[in-house]
């Protein structure tokens, strides 16, 4: 009997690989002869690089880059040498978690460091680059990343624009000549589920600017600045993509990736599932166990258990979820290939206690699931 274990990470607690390990221990205690296949997963957000590297012949690489406010940060990225594929989490270089709450500033934060990671991938010989773009601290329409890759952005006096989205209001000239020529030979994919346009009431600044430190007045100024950037881009590029779904993702990095890099958007969990060969693992399985920290109605928006269940459903394999907590509306997932869901906690406990003991709790719950499962097999 084959059981596939394909969880996401549990935020602030365990990586996806460690979650899978803990579940496997519990299952093996009760079902010692079962074939347990571990496929650590992610949905394009935090943990994407770790999950893909853990699943196969991957390497974790480290590079010093500029953080969102220009400070040096050490950023991890993934490298799959067999396929010359790089996996980059922009949050490693330009993420909100790198900026203290009181220092968040959507007007001057920059994606320059993300561009530096892309350059490192080019130096490694990347033929395919997957950008996981959740959790950004930036609102610069990807201009910083493009500057790091050689794009020239100048004001009316011929001076290079400073970093940040607000500075784009003063953009007078774009020079394409310096853009790294190697980019043309690379296939870019954006692992994201955000479908916002670049500008307007549903755009990057209006929807995501406030959480990055923008006041209502700054939101309006940033929206205008990004619109001006798109206007200037339209004069040097064959296509204006500002209104396309996803252009507003990650503070507008989606726009830059589409417009200058020819990037294609894919659901994050689909990209990860492909790279860890989840469909192949699920084929012929008796059961799939997945999970995440919080399992609720939001899971329907392309999060890991939903994506895993879709693949399992195609192969007629039942799915059980183990989650830190079961939130409002989780029952809606029962109509989408998930057969049962269990919360981790064994009784009243603090979040801190649950996080600290997550591994043992997962093992205990997996043991319970295996006992219940074995009854049905008898």
- Say if CB 168 and CB 251 are below 8 A apart: no
Q: From 375, 347, 344, select the one nearest 362 (Cα to Cα).
A: 344
Mean pLDDT of 314-328: 95
Q: From 376, 378, 373, 377, select the one nearest 29 (Cα to Cα).
A: 373
At residue 351, the pLDDT reads 83
Domain boundary among 268, 299, 326: 268
Mean pLDDT of 140-157: 98
Query: What's the whole-number average pLDDT of the chain?
Result: 94
User: 251-279 pLDDT, tens per residue?
Assistant: 999 999 999 999 999 988 999 999 899 99
Check whether residue 61 and residue 198 sit in a common domain: yes
User: 75-124 pLDDT, tens per residue?
Assistant: 999 999 999 999 999 999 999 989 998 899 999 999 999 999 999 999 99
At residue 180, the pLDDT reads 98
Does 378 score more than 70 pLDDT?
no
- Say if CB 162 and CB 275 are below 8 A apart: no
CATH number at residue 6: 3.40.50.10350
- Say if CB 48 and CB 191 are below 8 A apart: yes
Per-residue DSSP letter, 251: G
Task: Give the residue numbers spanning the domain of 350.
Answer: 2-41+277-377
Domain boundary among 268, 296, 329: 268
Does 127 score more than 70 pLDDT?
yes
Q: From 205, 199, 373, select the one nearest 289 (Cα to Cα).
A: 373
Total number of domains in the chain = 2
Check whether residue 85 and residue 234 sit in a common domain: yes
- The DSSP string of 11-67 is TTTB-HHHHHHHHHHHHHHH-TTSEEEE-----SSTTHHHHHHHHTT-EEEEEEEE-
3-state secondary structure of 325: strand
User: 184-203 pLDDT, tens per residue?
Assistant: 999 999 998 778 999 999 99
Alpha helices, DSSP H only, in the chain?
16-30, 48-55, 90-94, 112-123, 143-148, 204-208, 216-234, 253-261, 268-275, 278-282, 304-314, 351-356, 358-377
Does 377 score more than 70 pLDDT?
yes
Q: At 145, is the pLDDT very low, low, confident or very high (cuts 50, 70, 90)?
A: very high
User: 222-232 pLDDT, tens per residue?
Assistant: 999 999 999 99
Check whether residue 66 and residue 181 sit in a common domain: yes
CATH number at residue 244: 3.90.1510.10
Say how far apart CA 306 and CA 86 lie, in whole Å: 25
Residue carrying the six token digits 């952005």:
153
Give, to the nearest 10 degrees, the angle between helix 304-314 and helix 268-275.
Answer: 60
Check whether residue 262 and residue 213 sit in a common domain: yes
- The DSSP string of 126-163 is -SEEEEE--SB---STTHHHHHHTT-EEE-TTSPBPPS
Domain boundary among 268, 294, 313: 268
């Amino acid at each position: 009997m084959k059981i596939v274990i394909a969880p996401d990470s549990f935020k602030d607690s365990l990586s996806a690989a460690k979650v899978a390990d803990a579940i496997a221990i519990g299952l093996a205690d009760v079902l010692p002869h079962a074939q347990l296949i571990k496929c650590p997963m992610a949905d394009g957000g935090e943990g994407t690089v770790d999950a893909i590297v853990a699943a196969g012949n991957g390497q974790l690489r480290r590079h010093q880059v500029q953080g969102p406010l220009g400070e040096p940060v050490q950023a991890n990225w993934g490298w799959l040498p067999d396929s010359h594929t790089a996996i980059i989490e922009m949050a490693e270089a330009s993420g909100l978690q790198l900026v203290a709450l009181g220092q968040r500033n959507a007007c001057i934060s920059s994606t320059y460091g993300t561009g530096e990671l892309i350059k490192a991938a080019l130096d490694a010989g990347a033929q395919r680059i997957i950008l996981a773009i959740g959790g950004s601290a930036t609102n610069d329409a990807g201009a910083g990343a493009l500057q790091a890759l050689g794009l020239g952005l100048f004001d009316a006096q011929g001076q290079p624009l400073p970093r940040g989205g607000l500075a784009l209001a003063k953009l007078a000239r774009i020079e394409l000549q310096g853009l790294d020529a190697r980019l043309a030979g690379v296939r870019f994919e954006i692992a994201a589920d955000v479908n916002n346009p670049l500008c307007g009431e549903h755009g990057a600044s209006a929807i995501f600017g406030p959480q990055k430190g923008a006041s209502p007045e700054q939101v309006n100024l940033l929206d205008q600045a990004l619109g001006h950037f798109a206007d200037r881009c339209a004069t040097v590029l064959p296509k204006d993509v500002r209104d396309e779904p996803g252009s507003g993702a990650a503070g507008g990095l989606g726009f830059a990736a589409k417009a200058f890099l020819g990037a294609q958007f894919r659901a994050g969990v689909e990209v990860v599932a492909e790279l860890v060969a989840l469909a192949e693992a699920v084929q012929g399985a008796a059961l799939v166990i997945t999970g995440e920290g919080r399992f609720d109605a939001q899971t329907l928006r392309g999060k890991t258990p939903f994506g895993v269940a879709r693949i399992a459903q195609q192969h007629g394999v039942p799915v059980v979820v183990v989650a830190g907590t079961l939130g409002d509306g989780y029952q809606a997932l029962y109509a989408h290939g998930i057969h049962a869901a269990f919360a981790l906690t064994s009784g009243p406990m603090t979040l801190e206690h649950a996080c600290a003991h997550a591994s043992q709790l997962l093992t205990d719950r997996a043991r319970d699931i295996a006992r219940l499962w074995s009854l049905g097999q008898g």
